[in-house]
Amino acid sequence: MTISKYDLSQTAILPLKQKDRELALKTQNLQVFYGKNQAIFGENLAFERFKITSLIGASGSGKSTFLRSLNRMNDGIARVTGKIFYRGLDINSQNINVYEVRKHIGMVFQRPNPFSKSIRDNITFALRQNGLKDKEQLAASVESSLKDAALWDEVKDELDKSAWALSGGQQQRLCIARTIAMKPDILLLDEPASALDPISTSKIEETLVELKQKYTIIIVTHNMQQASRISDYTAFFHLGHIIEYDKTKHIFTNPRIQATNDYISGNFG
Ligand SMILES: Nc1ncnc2c1ncn2[C@@H]1O[C@H](COP(=O)(O)OP(=O)(O)OP(=O)(O)O)[C@@H](O)[C@H]1O
């Protein structure tokens, strides 16, 4: 067990007073175990719709574990207990269809991972798998998803080109387009720009800020400038606990907990 120099019972979690319909997702007593090792310790967090929430914290603090639990990506890898409420349903319960959950709550990973297919087919693959056959509808979906992911203008004349011929940043925007083609409510992103150069990173950031008009976004990031630039809310994780959660400007200008203050000022440890 890791001993913290901070008192882990000292937390400051902003209660969101929104009505249920204004909340996209809410965890209740979420705990995650890898075998005997506990990685998340009964965390309660609510995410407001059409906002960007950043999850920050040191390596190993549990950000990705928490994020992956939100659309059941930890199934088969970890034991997740507690509740995750989405539209009034506990989507962490046994009888839930996880494939349906992932249509509503999509995920984009750290490294761009387009399929070895054309740009067009990357978008249409899952739609076809779900039974969509109409060519016009498929074409409309390709166009609208690529527009939403701010990639359309760059690729509209070469949709049959291999996705692997795109730059890393373009590939990541294609992965975002592929996810939003399924029309999710919520986008989970695990350090989506950490493998990208600064220009591609800022393009992804601009894209996310545009996307929050239509989607609720939850993003894990190690880049604190990024969190402060793009997110409305920020949650600070430490050793599997959410220590502080507030509006991003409060977290970065006036954190209430010492551990948060030390982390954002680089004196953590
Ligand atoms: N697949 C796994 N099997 C076993 N333990 C794991 C697994 N994934 C994560 N862990 C453990 O769970 C804890 C939290 O890890 P997690 O990757 O969620 O942290 P993180 O804050 O996202 O870290 P990073 O910023 O480095 O990605 C760590 O102790 C880690 O070793």
Per the domain annotation, does 42 fall within a domain?
yes
What pLDDT tens digit does each residue of the chain (269 aa) get?
566 788 888 899 998 887 777 999 999 999 999 999 999 999 999 999 999 999 999 999 999 999 999 999 999 999 999 999 999 899 999 999 999 999 999 999 999 999 999 999 999 999 999 899 999 999 999 999 999 999 999 999 999 999 999 999 999 999 999 999 999 999 999 999 998 889 989 999 999 999 999 999 999 999 999 999 999 999 999 999 999 999 999 999 999 999 999 999 988 76
Look up the ipTM and state it. 0.98
Per the domain annotation, does 47 fall within a domain?
yes
The order of strands in the sheet holding 23-34 is 37-48, 23-34, 79-86, 89-90
CA of 240 to the centre of ligand 1 (A): 9
For residue 220, the ligand 1 atom closest to its alpha carbon is: 22
Per the domain annotation, does 8 fall within a domain?
no
Per the domain annotation, does 269 fall within a domain?
no
DSSP state of 7: -
Q: How many whole angstroms separate alpha carbon 50 and alpha carbon 186?
A: 9
Ligand 1: which of 56, 64, 68, 107 to mutate, judged by most atoms within 8 Å of the beta carbon? 64
SS3 167: coil
Q: How many whole angstroms separate alpha carbon 260 and alpha carbon 36?
A: 28
Under 8 Å between Cβ of 56 and 227: yes
CA of 216 to the centre of ligand 1 (A): 24
For atom 1 of ligand 1, the residue with the nearest CA is 77
**CATH assignment of the domain containing 254:** 3.40.50.300
Domain of 249 in residue numbering reads as 20-264
Phi, psi at residue 60, to the nearest 5°? 85, 5
Domain count, the chain: 1
Per the domain annotation, does 187 fall within a domain?
yes
Ligand 1 cavity residues, CB under 6 Å: 34, 39, 57, 59-65, 77
Render the burial of 91-118: b for 16+ CB within 10 Å, e for the rest: bbeeeeeeeebbbbbbbbbeebebeeeb
Q: How many whole angstroms separate alpha carbon 32 and alpha carbon 78?
A: 7
User: Residue 155: what pLDDT?
Assistant: 97
Q: How many whole angstroms separate alpha carbon 241 and alpha carbon 224?
A: 19
User: Residue 1: what pLDDT?
Assistant: 57
DSSP state of 152: H
User: Residue 4: what pLDDT?
Assistant: 77
CA of 63 to the centre of ligand 1 (A): 8
Per the domain annotation, does 13 fall within a domain?
no
Per the domain annotation, does 11 fall within a domain?
no
Per the domain annotation, does 7 fall within a domain?
no
CA of 61 to the centre of ligand 1 (A): 7
Q: How many whole angstroms separate alpha carbon 215 and alpha carbon 50?
A: 5
CA of 37 to the centre of ligand 1 (A): 10
